[in-house]
Structures are given as C-alpha cells and as structure tokens.
Amino acid sequence: MKKITRRQALGTTAGVLTALGLTAAAAGATSAAATPTEPTTPGSVDEVYQGRRIQITPGGGGHHGGHHSPGQPTVRIDGRELHIMRNADGTWISVINHYETFADPKLLARAAVRDLQGAALVPFGGAA
Amino acid sequence: MTVRKNQATLTPAEKRAFTSALQELKRNGSYDRFVTTHNGFIMSDTDSGDRVGHRSPSFLPWHRRFLLEFEEALQKVDASLALPYWDWTADRTSRSSLWAPDFLGGTGRARDGQVMDGPFAYATGKWNINVRVDGRAYLRRDLGTSVAQLPTRAEVDAVLAMPVYDMAPWNSSSNGFRNHLEGWRGANLHNRVHVWVGGQMSTGASPNDPVFWMHHAFIDKLWAEWQAKHPQSTYLPGAGTQNVVDLNDTMRPWNNVTPADMLDHRKFYTFDTEPVAAASQR
C-alpha cells in the first residue's frame, strides 16, 4: 500500500499534471485512494516516464479493450492502450516487447516507452 | 524440388533475386497480409486459453505451414526461389554478410533505430512498414543491444538432446523440446534471437523484418534435426487436449492442415544439409 502511494505520488506531481493540462478533478479520479468506489488497488500506476504518461489500471473492472484475459490490467501510454499478456509463470509481455518477459506491468510499460522513442501506439490490429 | 540453403552460401545473384521478390510481395500487398496474420496470432495465443501459433505444441507445425505459404508466394514471383535459413549459431555478429547492403542491410542508426542501408531501408521507397504497432513506418533494428549474445551451438545442442517433444501444460511454462526451442524456458533460443535483432523483430509484427523468415527457417531446420536425433519421439499431445492443437486437429487459420501433415518437411522441401538420422546411436 505504502509503495503504491509513493509510486502514484511520483507519477502525479503538480508540474506533470500542469504539463498535461489536467484538472484537479481529473487527477483525483486517477488516484485510486481518493474515491470510495475505487478502492486502493495493488498494481495501479499513473506516472510520467521519459516524457510519456503510463497508466495502469488493475483488471476486473468494466473496461473492454479487446482483451482475451478479462482479469488482467489495462496499460495505457499517453492514453493509447498497450496490448499486454500475462505468462503462466506470472511474468508479462507486450506487443512491443513480445519475446522478452518482464516482472510486472510497470516494467513492461517502461520498456515499451523506451522502445517507442516518442512514437504513438496504434490501435490493436495494427493495419494502417 | 525446393532446397532451402544457408543464407551465408547464397550467391550475389541469389541474394538479389530473393530481395527483389520480397520487394515485389511488399508492392503487391501480399507481404503485409502475412504480417497481419502473425500479429493476430501473437495477440490471441494465450497460456490459459486457445493457443495455436505460439506458446504451444503447434508453434513448430504452425510456423512450418506459415513459411510454406510465404515461400509459395515468393515462388509465384520467381519460381527459382527458396527460403534461406540463418544459422545464428554460426553467423552471430552484426558484421555477418547477412547484414551487408547487398542483402538485408545493417543495424539501425542510433537516433531512431532506422535501418539506413540495403533494399529495405525506408528511403528506397520500397519497404514501408504498414502493419504496425506504433506510428513508425520505417524498418528498425538494434542488433545485439537488448541482449548481447545470440545462442551458441552448445546451447542448441543441449535443447536438441531433449527427447520429449512437449509436455503439459502445453504452454510457455512447459518442459520439453518445443518450449526450450521457442525460448520461454531455459537457455532461450528462438525468443532471444528476436530480441537480439530488435526493432520490429521484437514486436508482435516481427515479420515486417525479412530476417523473420530466415530465423524461422532455421528454427524449422532445428525441428528436423531434433526429429532425426529422436526417431522414436513424436509430436505431442496426441488427442483430447483442451485449447491445444493435438496431432490430428486442424490448425487455424487454414483449417485444413494438421500437425501430422507437417511432420515430414521432405514432402515440401529439403535442406542443403539434411539432418542425418541417428539410427546408429543405439
């Protein structure tokens, strides 16, 4: 719990929110601890890494992002969903780093940010 | 009969014919359909659900069929062509002739990973990345950066020594030959090569890089070598396995071909050096 709070605090500094043009209300909505309808959830992340906003929402919610595994978290980079997958041993891969495993979705998202070098994700399916 | 050769032995004329045919498949649109198919399976094959192309026993027969279809497309452009294979245990540096400008071109430049030479450089206008997971339309590589070393022959031999084709739970956590060759477990062979190349090769849309076909042609050859080493071993599972393609089940997307149909590559092609059966071993 403590760790998550610190992570979120790192990700949602005032300067970053200003840069992204977010309102205080929007910032509140992304903070898992702020609203009773959204209890503090392990693994939720909202951070800026190398200039990109990484948002990770734990699974089980009402999102429908074309997932085949409904229980898994949703990872977004600058608002675009990153297709991810959990391996049987608990590690993670994404469509950007498909052949290399990562210990958790945050490390996976950061690896994707490094690989993207500023490029935007395109919607699943990929055909231009 | 199609003979698949080691890429290192191709003549300049053979290299030219191969890269020209790849550009023609790109131009006429058929190349990108292969990328789309592969990425679709990459995203839908899961350890706990239906799995066909990857992380499952049918990884090998699925890719054999996929490469056959691609090779047939190449042969429609130029009937003399066969898929070459890249033995990355032998040609294991970015200085290999594979990466020369007269063949696949080299690694990407530091700034954005863009491949700047060879027939597949963006500036040729003949190799746009259309089926993609991000906004970049140019071929990228980062040879040997994300992982320093390609697998060695000793690592390959240790995997080829595994006598059982595949094991329950038939996914990325399995023991046995298939998963060690695929690389989710152990020394990591196939997966590591994707990571070593970098760029699109490390994504779900990896067939965007023509080296994909040569990498998989070698993986396919290693399957043939394994069969020669273990004539008593066969594809598993045999029947009745949920979410998994059994020996006589049909495979998507073709729905008319089974792993059993794919076991003997010599029905379709031979290799320049055919694996020698290990009959004298016992």
Q: Assess whether pLDDT exceeds 80 at residue A17.
A: no
Asked if the interface predicted TM-score (ipTM) of this complex is over 0.85, the answer is: yes
Q: Do B46 and A68 touch (CB under 8 A)?
A: yes
What is the C-alpha to C-alpha distance for residues B271 and B87, in angstroms, rounded to an integer?
Answer: 12
The CATH classification of domain A35-116, taken from the options 3.40.50.2300, 3.30.420.10, 3.30.1880.10, 3.40.50.2020:
3.30.1880.10
Give the pLDDT score at B1: 85
Q: Do A128 and B113 touch (CB under 8 A)?
A: no
H or E element, residue A115 = helix A105-116
The count of CB pairs under 8 A between chains A and B is 95
The distance of A30 to chain B (nearest Cα, Å) reads 25
What is the C-alpha to C-alpha distance for residues B85 and B73, in angstroms, rounded to an integer?
Answer: 17
- More reliable by pLDDT, B16 or A24: B16
At A69, is the pLDDT very low, low, confident or very high (cuts 50, 70, 90)?
low
List residues bridging with B2 in a β-sheet: B269
Other C-beta atoms within 10 Å of B9: how many? Answer: 10
Give the A window 15-54 contacts with B, CB below 8 Å.
none
Q: Do A87 and B184 touch (CB under 8 A)?
A: yes
How large is the C-alpha radius of gyration of chain A?
14
Residues from chain B that touch A120, judged by Cβ atoms under 8 A, are 134-135
Spell out the domain ranges in chain A: 1-31, 35-116
Residues from chain B that touch A87, judged by Cβ atoms under 8 A, are 47, 55, 172-173, 184
- More reliable by pLDDT, A128 or A60: A60
Contact status, residue B146 vs residue B133, Cβ threshold 8 Å:
no
Q: pTM value?
A: 0.88
- Percent of chain A, pLDDT > 70? 55
CB proximity A70 to B under 8 Å: no
At A127, is the pLDDT very low, low, confident or very high (cuts 50, 70, 90)?
very low
**pLDDT (tens digit, 9 = 90+) per residue, B48-93?**
999 999 999 999 999 999 999 999 999 999 999 999 999 999 999 9
Spell out the domain ranges in chain B: 2-280
Give the pLDDT score at A72: 87
Task: Transcribe chain B into DSSP letters.
Answer: -EEE-BGGG--HHHHHHHHHHHHHHHHTTHHHHHHHHHHHHHHH--SSS--SSSSSTTHHHHHHHHHHHHHHHHHHH-TT----B--TTTS-STTSGGGSTTTT--PBPTTT-BB-SSTTSGGGSS----B-SBS--S-B--TTTSSS-PPPHHHHHHHHT---S--TT-STT--SHHHHHHTSSTT--HHHHHHHH-GGGGSTTGGGSTHHHHHHHHHHHHHHHHHHH-TT---S--S--TTS--TTS--TTTSS--HHHHS-GGGTEEESSPPPP-GGG-
Distance of CA B263 to the CA centre of its chain: 16
Which of A75, A98, A124 would you mutate first to test chain B, the one with the most B CBs within 10 A? A98
Q: Do A126 and B131 touch (CB under 8 A)?
A: yes
CATH code of B2-280, in short, is 1.10.1280.10
What is the C-alpha to C-alpha distance for residues B220 and B85, in angstroms, rounded to an integer?
Answer: 9
H or E element, residue A77 = strand A74-77
Give the pLDDT score at A21: 36
Q: Do B172 and A87 touch (CB under 8 A)?
A: yes
Assign A19 to helix, strand or coil.
helix
H or E element, residue A81 = strand A80-82
Contact status, residue B159 vs residue B182, Cβ threshold 8 Å:
no
Q: Do A128 and B192 touch (CB under 8 A)?
A: no
Contact status, residue A54 vs residue A113, Cβ threshold 8 Å:
yes
Instruction: Point out the residue among B40, B134, B147 whose CB comes nearest to the CB of A121.
Output: B134
Instruction: Point out the residue among A69, A98, A116 whose CB comes nearest to the CB of B202.
Output: A98
Q: Collect the ranges in chain B with pLDDT lower than 50.
A: 280-282
Place of tokens 């600058």: A78
- Angle at Cα B158 formed by Cα B154 and Cα B160, nearest 5°? 110
Average pLDDT, chain A: 71
